[in-house]
């Protein structure tokens, strides 16, 4: 699996605004696709995973110098084995190429596939819950908090 950081925000936007993906990347405040803009902040790392075709997009948002929030989009139609491989190889890549030493994620409780991907493939652990902190389809739901250490 190959990973590379991209600043090709048009490419990132195309991944995030794909009709199979867009409705899953946010809460009820998500704007229409036509108004969506990728955050081009220099601290955000958009990382493309490929083997050799596109497998997914990992987004890292530093919360501080060593604790980074993770968001993942896996491409529809990619095999489970490729998704697993991307996750397993991504953790050592982070350790080698970033100062990140702790990954965190806050996943809506209804997004069972994302929770499973984080725990089973990325090796993240349940660390808590933010009650009624996410509004989706007019319903408040909990955010499941996941985390894991990276590197040494």
Q: Pairing mode, if any, of strands 45-50 and 2-6?
A: antiparallel
What are the strands of the beta sheet with 102-108, ordered from one edge?
2-6, 45-50, 54-62, 67-74, 102-108, 139-149, 125-136
Confidence of residue 52 (pLDDT cuts 50, 70, 90): confident
Secondary structure tally for the chain: helices H, strands E: 3, 7
Beta bridge partners of 60: 45, 70
pTM more than 0.75: yes
- Give me 13's structure tokens: 């936007």
Confidence of residue 152 (pLDDT cuts 50, 70, 90): low
List, in order of start, the domains of the chain with CATH numbers. Answer: 2-149 (3.40.630.30)
- Give me 71's structure tokens: 């968001």
In which element (H, E) is residue 108 found? strand 102-108
Write out pLDDT tens, residues 126-142: 999 999 999 999 999 99
Peptide bond preceding 52: is omega within 30 degrees of 0, i.e. cis? Answer: yes
Longest dimension (CA), the chain: 42
């Amino acid at each position: 699996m190959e990973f590379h950081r991209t600043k090709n925000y048009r490419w990132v936007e195309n991944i995030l605004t794909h009709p199979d993906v867009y409705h899953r990347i946010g809460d009820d405040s998500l704007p229409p696709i036509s108004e969506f803009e990728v955050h081009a902040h220099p601290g955000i790392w958009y990382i493309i995973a490929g083997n050799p075709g596109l497998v997914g997009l990992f987004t890292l948002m530093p919360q501080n110098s060593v604790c980074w929030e993770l968001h993942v989009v896996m491409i529809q139609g990619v095999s489970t084995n490729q998704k697993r491989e991307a996750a397993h190889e991504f953790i050592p890549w982070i350790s080698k190429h970033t100062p990140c030493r702790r990954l965190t994620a806050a996943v809506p409780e209804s997004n069972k596939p994302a929770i499973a991907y984080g725990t089973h493939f990325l090796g993240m652990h349940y660390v808590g819950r933010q009650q009624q902190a996410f509004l989706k389809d007019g319903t408040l739901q909990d955010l499941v908090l996941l985390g894991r250490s990276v590197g040494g």
